[in-house]
Each structure stands twice: as structure tokens, then as C-alpha cells.
């Protein structure tokens, strides 16, 4: 996972480009992936793609919490109180850049195998929290071969005809995932998808790690 870099970002439609006068800037989750199974009581690493903030020296916090049925992420950045002029604020279109980072979920209890929902802050449909999927918690022997994943994506096709899905706002050569079913591409752009990431039996588009699509809307 790549940590947030020391650079000036603009949060676009979330907080605009006004100077930040506070210490905390809340952000929404564009994409998450996490282990499909974990052992009881074991904290686990999660990948988060969130919008960046218009501030210097942003420090990401996943804002993880858990109860008897779900683990919820309400991410935010701790920021300095500096006055910042956002790139493009007056002379060019707003720069909207997503940040690829990571968080840690607390250990979850289970005396028998059970599932917890995985939720994240979101603004779609005016809901403060959205269910991204679930995680299976086992007393022991969790299978680490899959990572569940969900978020808003765009679809892209390369010069060889290979289709990948990319979390919205995330750029760079390593941000996209090869779609396992290359024929199932309808309605993927700007869709909220759920699925899992795993290693295919044979390379696909010259890669072995692929995204298996389960649902889209």
C-alpha cells in the first residue's frame, strides 16, 4: 500500500478549495479491499482509496470502529492549520485526486465462524454509511487466499483489448485490476461494484492477480 504523499491535494466536491481552518478533514471511501477471512481477535490490514484533501502535511486515519455486527471505517485526515492555495483554484479546473492508502481494522470476536459487515463512509444516495461487503471471522485457520473488495470504479480497455477496473480518481499504472471475466463488462463505468481479488489459475492479460466481479449497481 502506498502512504499518502506530502503534497497539496484538492478535495473537489467534498470541501472545495477553501483554506482549511480545522484539524480534521473527513473523507469518503471510494474503494476498499480487505481479507475475506480473518482469525478471531486478529487486527487486519485494509486498503482504502479516498479523496485527498486541500492541506499541507495530511496524516491519514482510517477511523475504524466495531460493534457486534459490523466494522465501520470513517476515514479522515489530520491537517495543519496553514492557509493553502489549491492547485487550479483560480486558473484551471479543480484537481481531484484519490489517495491509495491503508488502515487497520480491530480484532473481531467469534467463538464459531461468523460474518461481520464491512462498512465505510459514503455520500451516495445521501447515506452517511454504505455496506461494502463482509468479512468471515473464524476461531482459527482463516484462509488468506482472497481479499474482498468493493467501491466505485471506471472500466478501461488497453491496446491489447484487456479490460481492467480502476477505483474512481486513482491514477497510475498500478491502480487498476484485471477483470477476471473479460466478457462481463457492461455497466461498469462509474458503477459501485462488489467482488473479490485472488490469484487466477493461469495468467490473464499477463497478470495473475485478478478481480472477480460479483455485483454492480
Mean pLDDT along residues 37-65? 91
Cα(137)–Cα(76) distance, integer angstroms: 26
For CA atoms 11, 13, 19, 23, the dihedral sign is: negative
- What pTM value is reported for the model? 0.81
Cβ atoms of 193 and 161 closer than 8 Å: no
Cα(4)–Cα(169) distance, integer angstroms: 14
174 pLDDT higher than 70? yes
Which residue would you say has higher pLDDT here, 14 or 98? 98
Domain-wise residue ranges, the chain: 24-144, 149-216
Please tell me the number of Cα atoms within 13 Å of 69 on its side-chain side. Answer: 1
Q: In 3-state terms, what secondary structure has residue 205?
A: coil
pLDDT at 55: 75
5 pLDDT higher than 90? no
92 pLDDT higher than 60? no
Cell 486515519 sits on residue: 61
pLDDT at 83: 58
Amino acid at each position: 500500500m502506498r502512504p499518502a504523499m506530502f503534497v497539496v491535494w484538492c478535495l473537489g466536491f467534498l470541501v472545495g478549495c477553501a483554506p482549511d481552518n480545522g484539524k480534521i478533514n473527513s473523507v469518503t471511501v471510494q474503494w476498499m479491499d480487505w481479507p475475506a477471512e480473518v482469525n478471531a481477535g486478529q487486527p487486519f490490514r485494509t486498503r482504502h482509496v479516498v479523496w485527498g484533501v486541500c492541506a499541507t502535511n495530511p496524516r491519514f486515519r482510517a477511523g475504524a470502529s466495531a460493534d457486534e455486527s459490523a466494522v465501520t471505517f470513517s476515514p479522515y485526515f489530520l491537517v495543519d492549520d496553514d492557509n493553502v492555495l489549491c492547485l487550479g483554484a483560480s486558473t484551471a479546473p479543480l484537481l481531484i485526486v484519490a489517495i491509495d492508502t491503508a488502515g487497520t481494522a480491530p480484532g473481531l470476536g467469534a467463538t464459531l465462524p461468523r460474518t461481520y459487515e464491512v462498512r465505510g463512509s459514503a455520500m451516495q444516495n445521501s447515506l452517511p454509511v454504505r455496506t461494502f461487503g463482509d468479512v468471515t471471522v473464524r476461531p482459527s485457520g482463516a484462509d488468506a487466499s482472497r481479499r474482498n473488495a468493493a467501491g466505485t470504479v471506471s472500466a478501461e480497455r488497453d491496446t491489447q483489448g484487456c479490460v481492467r477496473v480502476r477505483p474512481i480518481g486513482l491514477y497510475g499504472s498500478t491502480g487498476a485490476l484485471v477483470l477476471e471475466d473479460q466478457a462481463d463488462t457492461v455497466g461498469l463505468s462509474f458503477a459501485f461494484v462488489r467482488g473479490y481479488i485472488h490469484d487466477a489459475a493461469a495468467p490473464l492479460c499477463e497478470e495473475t492477480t485478478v478481480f472477480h466481479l460479483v455485483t454492480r449497481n
